[in-house]
Structure 1
């Protein structure tokens, strides 16, 4: 019998142990191949207005998926290799050299990897159409989607996962050479390094988590004198190290206290359950910490992207307060108005004539407005008319050289980046001082102009040097459904306005559509990457608990012989596994809740509903892994008793 035959036989014999591992590999390959297919799908890219964003986002997602799939496969392969140490020890006992054992494991990994690769790519070919439809739906793009196949995606995926399979085989080879024959037969007695509780480490863990929360929630960005990237780095390190110390010490202290409560400890099966839970947590601290951090990242990313998508209407209304901003004369206005009137569902809510001055200005002292932006001055009188049209009431009194600046899309909605900054008007040599900053958008964002409201006197003095320009503002009903109308106005206006220098034209629907495309892409990527992360973290617990189930078979057999009822045994096992699943989940939800709360305060949008929705979806799938783990754990023990 050749090594290939032995490898095939081993796979058939251990198929029940490998099926979740293979399934997780298949899903990873399927999603990776789908991302690559989307990235190389030229028809999809041509239909989107944010092509560069889509390509770069899919590339970044693919890179993250490569790293995570590799780590996950290596981790899982290490557990399976350790689980089979007795089998490997038998091969060595019967005289098979370690080199041939390593080749045997390589053949097994190659066969399993090839099966997963074949199924994953076949599934990806058919599901790429579904994924394309999902991403187009989320991005609000109406395109007929057909079945497509990307040879580049096939080659990239095949080569990548072949490399991962080769590296995992080398990993198995190294594990074999690290152990002697006696150690291979005593593999079940060896676990991860056992940790012991420490008062100092326990206090330090709670302190580090508290510092991390403090840094996150410090809206003034002055905690410990840290700002920007340094603050984020310290916060992340504090949460990771604090989580590790909390799991390795504080939780163990709590369990030690339970052991001292004699009335609780000796009640029913609590003696067995608490002792086993104590052991499980001690021997799985590193794994639980990794799962906690990954779950935190997943929940935060899913909640953030869903919140942005959920708030698209609110964001678009704030960033694009006017349906159309059009530079032109009365003839232009009448032409546009006639187009709007041809769509009864888009009744004009208000129209406004806005006179402004397009000036050359030195904005270098502001530090956030590019020099090539068009600076436009609006008189106090015109500004009041604009506020009246939008039903905004404001007391306003400007001195001659005072100006007002407006919200420009800054993520930190509480920041004031303009007040007391100076702007020099080059055309007349006058200096303007920004007296006030208003936290609403005056004109639509993203059009490369910098609007300032100035006093009527200052406006009149500049107007003597520079002739005024005229723009017309239109606000219509149902502007989020104005695609057809907007396309016609685009066709009429872009040619006219782009031929003028400087031009001024803005369309609400175009900005709204770009937001939908951007946030739709984010929720698509975070959703599927979150699913992969969840499958991987759930599988890590699943693999480790089943490994421990095989190691603990003899112990549980002894317990039943000593009189422990099967019902109590099952209850004890469910409780032990529940705590292993529950600990990282609860801490991750707490971490992500703090992060989401800080982000909500920062950008000025509530994320309660998106966060709770993401948590519910995550917990539902996570609970499925718990049920699956308990069922398989009990099945292994049942096989031993039989």
Structure 2
């Protein structure tokens, strides 16, 4: 029997153990192949107006994916090697040379990788149409992608993953030279010392996380702490304190809590609680590293995905805020309106807007350069209220010699304190701001920042400004194609703005980010769930004798299943809870930074992540129970 055939038989015999590992690798290869295929896709390049940016995004995503997958495969491989140390020792005891054992492990891992690579590329090709259609849909286009097989993408994927598999296979080859025979036989019996929880370390962990949260929730633009420390250094401090604090949380805080629980004898002696707590306490030191990794990965995945989904979710509101009219332009030609009307279908409303472009001396405002001048579009309150009634906005009442400014980009951290401030024209007409609004009735891309005044004040300002006429068009449904036809007829100086086109541009950029973020998040989630799965099943193999002893003592299968479920739920959901808390703080800071409400999309994203993560929990508990049940039947 050759080493290669022995490696193949080992894989077949242990296929149930390798299944999730292989599935995670295949999924990673599918996603990588998809990203590279999209990078070379003619369909995407033809459809999108930013194909160059798309290629850059896909390339960056592919690099991130490769880096993460390499770490995941190496991490998973180390679990399998630990699990098989006794088997390796048996080969050595039977007289098989170290070099031959090393080559067997090398071939075994390489064969797993090659099978995963072939299956991943084939499934990636079969799924490419669906993935491309999803991307096109997220970017706001209505099209069905064709089946495409990219030889360049397949070659790229094969080279990258073969290199990864060669490195991890060499890791397996080196295993036999790193341990003595006796160490290999007793590897699975090496437990971990029961930790002595320290109140001081527990408090330090909580303080570190708290300080990281406090720094993250400070406004980086106005916080003196951020200003003193510096942006990059502050971010590094936040990451360090939260990660170290998380490790201490699992290492000492969890151990401290479990020790306190163990003192509650009334609860402890019910069912198998004593076994559950003792098992968790016994392994808590080793699990602390794994739980920290899971918490950080979960936080990263949820934060990145929640932020991008939040932007995507709010895209329509952002565009409507900036472009309340479907189309708007400045009338620069007497024949321009007739050309546009010939293209337009029936409109909901079509309004001619009389406005002024006035240069103001605005030295009282605190956001100015040295000139102290600002050019604003001025309309009267009757015009504003007419458009506001059509658009479903509240009416305004403006006093004489006063104004309300419509600034959709208002941010109290940077914008002027408008209320009570005075601006003057070159003819010394003074206007006092009675307030501001963060919504407008004119498209910001065409009119810019708009000032609303009374009718009498508007007439007084006419001698100080240039009279303009805008055309504002509202439609229930308007396509990008109509927008493009209209834009061909309108000169650049007319400052044509289109809500459909702006919405399409936003979807194109944010939709591609959402696609990449979602699939990278799924890979991270698959790897995260797999890491815990491997860890727990390794422990299940070590616990078989203990549960068999309980079985012989008459403990019911139901009680053992409850004990297993309670142990696994801590391993799964404690790091998930920590990760969700970390991401909630990060997303709160992100929403404050962008002045955007992300609560609803973030909750949806967190729920979706938790549901998929929960499926891994169910699968792990079922596998754990199957190992224990099978062993109890075998051993009696």
TM-score computed with the length of structure 1 as normaliser: 0.86
SS at match of 1:247: helix
Q: Tell me how far apart the structure 2 counterparts of residues 264 and 366 of structure 1 sit (CA, whole Å).
A: 64
**Aligned counterpart, 1:343:** 345
**Aligned counterpart, 1:613:** 604
Q: Tell me how far apart the structure 2 counterparts of residues 418 and 563 of structure 1 sit (CA, whole Å).
A: 76
Residue 482 in structure 1 maps to residue 483 in structure 2:
no
SS at match of 2:334: helix
Q: Tell me how far apart the structure 2 counterparts of residues 450 and 586 of structure 1 sit (CA, whole Å).
A: 44
Q: Tell me how far apart the structure 2 counterparts of residues 91 and 242 of structure 1 sit (CA, whole Å).
A: 43
Q: Tell me how far apart the structure 2 counterparts of residues 556 and 308 of structure 1 sit (CA, whole Å).
A: 50
Q: 8 Å contact 1:405–1:418 — kept in the other structure?
A: no
* RMSD of equivalent CA atoms: 3.6
Residue 537 in structure 1 maps to residue 528 in structure 2:
yes
Q: Tell me how far apart the structure 1 counterparts of residues 358 and 281 of structure 2 sit (CA, whole Å).
A: 74
**Aligned counterpart, 2:256:** 253
CA shift in 2, pair 1:398/1:368, >3 Å = farther
| Consecutive unaligned residues in structure 1, runs of 5 or more | 421-427
CA shift in 2, pair 1:482/1:390, >3 Å = farther
Q: 8 Å contact 2:11–2:108 — kept in the other structure?
A: yes
Residue 549 in structure 1 maps to residue 540 in structure 2:
yes
**1:57 Cα deviation (Å)?**
2.1
CA shift in 2, pair 1:257/1:45, >3 Å = same
Residue 284 in structure 1 maps to residue 287 in structure 2:
yes
**Aligned counterpart, 2:306:** 303
CA shift in 2, pair 1:233/1:505, >3 Å = same
Q: Tell me how far apart the structure 1 counterparts of residues 570 and 273 of structure 2 sit (CA, whole Å).
A: 14
Q: Note the alpha carbon deviations across 1:176-233, whole angstroms, 9 max, x for none.
A: 3221111000110235786432111111111122222222333475556115444333
Residue 273 in structure 1 maps to residue 272 in structure 2:
no
**Aligned counterpart, 2:407:** 406
**Aligned counterpart, 1:510:** 501
TM-score computed with the length of structure 2 as normaliser: 0.87
Q: Tell me how far apart the structure 2 counterparts of residues 462 and 353 of structure 1 sit (CA, whole Å).
A: 15
**1:144 Cα deviation (Å)?**
4.0
CA shift in 2, pair 1:375/1:49, >3 Å = farther
**1:626 Cα deviation (Å)?**
1.2
**1:375 Cα deviation (Å)?**
7.6
SS at match of 1:350: strand
Match of 1:312 among 306, 315, 320: 315
**Aligned counterpart, 2:328:** 325
**1:138 Cα deviation (Å)?**
1.5
**Aligned counterpart, 1:577:** 568
**1:390 Cα deviation (Å)?**
3.0
Q: 8 Å contact 1:215–1:223 — kept in the other structure?
A: no
Residue 263 in structure 1 maps to residue 266 in structure 2:
yes
**Aligned counterpart, 1:424:** none
How many residues get paired? 616
Q: Tell me how far apart the structure 2 counterparts of residues 581 and 490 of structure 1 sit (CA, whole Å).
A: 55
Q: Tell me how far apart the structure 2 counterparts of residues 335 and 100 of structure 1 sit (CA, whole Å).
A: 85
SS at match of 1:177: coil
CA shift in 2, pair 1:358/1:390, >3 Å = same
Q: Tell me how far apart the structure 2 counterparts of residues 277 and 512 of structure 1 sit (CA, whole Å).
A: 52
Q: 8 Å contact 1:418–1:437 — kept in the other structure?
A: no
**Aligned counterpart, 1:356:** 357
Aligned pairs for 1:80-91 (under 5 A) are: 80-91=80-91
Aligned pairs for 1:15-414 (under 5 A) are: 15-190=15-190, 195-219=195-219, 225-227=225-227, 228-329=231-332, 331-335=334-338, 338-339=341-342, 342-344=344-346, 346-348=347-349, 350-356=351-357, 376-379=375-378, 381=379, 385-386=383-384, 389-390=387-388, 393=395, 406-408=407-409, 413-414=411-412
